[in-house]
Amino acid sequence: MHRRWVASLLTALVIGIALALPTGLYVLVQNLESLSQGWQRAVQASLYLESDTTADQGRTLAADIQHRDQVASTRFVSADEGLAEFRKASGFGNALDALADNPLPAVIVVVPKSGLPKAAIGELISTLGQLPRVARAELDQAWLSRLYAIVALIERAAWVIGLLLAAAVLFIVGNTIRLDIENRREEIEVMKLLGASDAFIRRPFLYSGFWYGLIGAIFALILLAACFIGLGGPLSELTRSYDGALDIHGLGFAGVFGVLLTGIALGWAGCVITVNRRLAAIEPK
C-alpha cells in the first residue's frame, strides 16, 4: 500500500465516500426523530363542549379527564375566554361586537402524555369524544403523521442506500485485492512451489483489506465532520429559531466506533471473498 500510495489513497477515499453517505442519512434520521418527539409533546386535543354546559361542569370534567393515565394535563377554556382570545388574535373586534350571542363553545384542551403511540392517542381522543357534555373531539396531528412518514421514508432510504454502498465497498476492495494478487501471481506460484500454505499467502492480503476498511472509515468520519462544520452556520440559525429547543446531535462515541467497525468488516469481507477464490485458481506450472 505504501509503494502504491496514490492508488491506495484513492481506493480508501472511495470507500470513505461510500460509508459517509448512509452514515449521514442515519444522523439525519436520528435528529428528525428527536425533533418529532419534541413536537409530539406539543400535540393538543380540543374537546368542544355542548352549548348548555356551565363553567363549573366544564372545570369538573377537565379535572376528571386529567386523572386519566394517558393524559398529561388539561385546561378549561370557557366560552367567554375563548371569545376574548379570538378577539385578540383575529382583530375582528368590531365585527364580534355586532353579534348578539357568543357563538363559541367552551373547550377543554387536553395534552396527551409524551411517548404515546399514534394509535393510543387516537384511541384516547375517540374515548374522550364519547364523554357526556362533549359535542366533538378534534386532534390536529395530520402534520405529525406526515413528519413520521418522512422520517420513515428517509430511514428506509438510508438502509437501501447503505446496503447498495456496502456491496460497492465489497466490490471495490475485492477488485483492488484481485489486482494485487495478479501483480504477485509469479511470486505466489513460487511460494506454493516452496510449500507455503494458502493461509500463509492469504494473510498479507487480509491485512490490506483491514487497512483499506479502517482508512476508508476514517475518511468517512472526516467527510462527515467537514459537512457538519460547513453546515454549522445554518444549523445554528435553525436552532436559534426554535429558541434553543432543537438540539443537533452527531454520531457520538458509539456511532464513531460503529463506522470504524463497519469499515473494517466490509474491507475484510471483500478481501476474504476475493482471496479465497483467486488463490484457489493459482497453481504452480
What's residue 241's pLDDT? 57
* 3 state DSSP class of 265: helix
Domain boundary among 120, 138, 156: 138
Identify whether residues 150 and 120 lie together within a single domain.
no
Domain boundary among 77, 107, 138: 138
Give me the DSSP letters along 188-238. Answer: HHHHHHTT--HHHHHHHHHHHHHHHHHHHHHHHHHHHHHHHHHTHHHHHHH
Whether the pLDDT of residue 76 is over 80: the answer is: yes
Identify whether residues 109 and 173 lie together within a single domain.
no
What's residue 246's pLDDT? 54
Q: How many domains does the chain have?
A: 2
Instruction: List the single range of 109-118, 122-131, 196-205 with lowest mean pLDDT.
Output: 109-118
Question: Does residue 158 contact residue 25 with C-beta atoms inside 8 Å?
Answer: yes
Q: How far apart are CA 168 and CA 174, in angstroms?
A: 10
Identify whether residues 161 and 220 lie together within a single domain.
yes
Question: Among 56, 52, 102, which residue's Cα sits nearest to residue 79?
Answer: 102
Domain boundary among 138, 169, 191: 138
Identify whether residues 176 and 65 lie together within a single domain.
no
Identify whether residues 112 and 149 lie together within a single domain.
no
Confidence of residue 144 (pLDDT cuts 50, 70, 90): low
**266-284, pLDDT tens digit by residue?**
888 888 888 877 777 777 6
Going through 82-233 in order, the beta strands assigned E by DSSP cover 107-112, 134-139
Identify whether residues 170 and 134 lie together within a single domain.
no
Residue the block writes with cell 378549561: 76
Mean per-residue pLDDT of the chain: 78
Identify whether residues 81 and 154 lie together within a single domain.
no
Whether the pLDDT of residue 109 is over 60: the answer is: yes
Confidence of residue 165 (pLDDT cuts 50, 70, 90): confident
Instruction: List the single range of 44-53, 68-77, 100-109 with lowest mean pLDDT.
Output: 100-109
**193-242, pLDDT tens digit by residue?**
888 877 888 888 888 888 888 998 999 899 888 887 777 667 666 666 55
What's residue 218's pLDDT? 92
Identify whether residues 164 and 223 lie together within a single domain.
yes
Identify whether residues 180 and 269 lie together within a single domain.
yes
Q: Residue 98 sits in a domain of what CATH number?
A: 3.30.70.3040
| Structural domain that includes position 227 | 5-38+145-281
Whether the pLDDT of residue 20 is over 80: the answer is: yes
Highest mean pLDDT (candidates 71-75, 122-126, 140-144): 71-75
Identify whether residues 151 and 183 lie together within a single domain.
yes
Residues 172, 173, 175, 180: is their CA dihedral positive or negative?
A: positive
What's residue 122's pLDDT? 76
Identify whether residues 24 and 153 lie together within a single domain.
yes
Identify whether residues 156 and 179 lie together within a single domain.
yes
